[in-house]
Amino acid sequence: MFPPADGWTFDQVKALELPFDWELVDGQIVVRGQTKFWHNRVRDRLLRALEDACIEPYDAVAEQCVMVDDQNTNKPDVIVFDPRKLGVLELECIPVERLALVVEVVSPGSRQDDRVRKPALFAANKVPYYWRVELDRDGNLAVHEYWLNADTRSYFPAPSHPVHRAKLATELPFPVEIDLDPIISFRFQQ
């Protein structure tokens, strides 16, 4: 299996039926790593909170392929998107122009991607909001909220509250409040 000279396309890679989860970055197949329990818990609980807070026309989903172009398909941890006129049964990838928010939970193996490459990619494609979720030095969640500068197609820290700790409260892309501390704790601890 040799890559095509011009790089892989989504349809070519999809036809390979690879035995691992993957993304396509500039025509190159990138293997997605195994995530830890805390990462999955944060992703799933943020998804649930976003689903509960969604207003029309938005919807939220985790680990869904996003089609930037034929040689760039990513699977953000969580996305908020506009599903109008998208067919739920035939949809493989959400078109990047439908995204309102991308949420990435940073793991040791994804730091560079989640801090640099993905924000640049999604900003260049006019995704209005980007949240980067990390564990701080004390093991608590910190949600870095970014807004798009449409002129420069780059993100800047949200002016009113660039980093959320303990509680995330924002109005964009719709009002949402999330208690962050319980997300990474077990319900019944002794």
pLDDT 10s digits, 4-57: 999 999 999 999 989 999 999 999 999 988 899 999 999 999 999 999 999 999
For residue 45, give the amino acid letter: R
Report the alpha-carbon distance of residue 45 to residue 70 in Å, rounded: 31
Asked whether residue 183 carries a pLDDT value surpassing 70, the answer given is: yes
Asked whether the beta carbons of 21 and 32 are under 8 A apart, the reply is yes
Instruction: Give DSSP secondary structure letters for 17-81.
Output: --SS-EEEETTEEEEPPPPPHHHHHHHHHHHHHHHHH--TT-EEEES--EEEETTEEE--SEEEE
The domain ranges of the chain are 33-184
Which pLDDT value is given to residue 179? 95
pLDDT 10s digits, 79-91: 999 999 999 888 9
The pairs formed by 79-88 with CB atoms below 8 angstroms and a separation of 24 or more are: 79/103, 80/50, 80/54, 80/173, 82/57, 82/58, 83/57, 83/58, 83/59, 84/57
**Least confidently predicted of 45-59, 76-90, 112-126, 176-190:** 176-190
Q: Which CATH architecture has domain 33-184?
A: Alpha-Beta Complex (3.90)
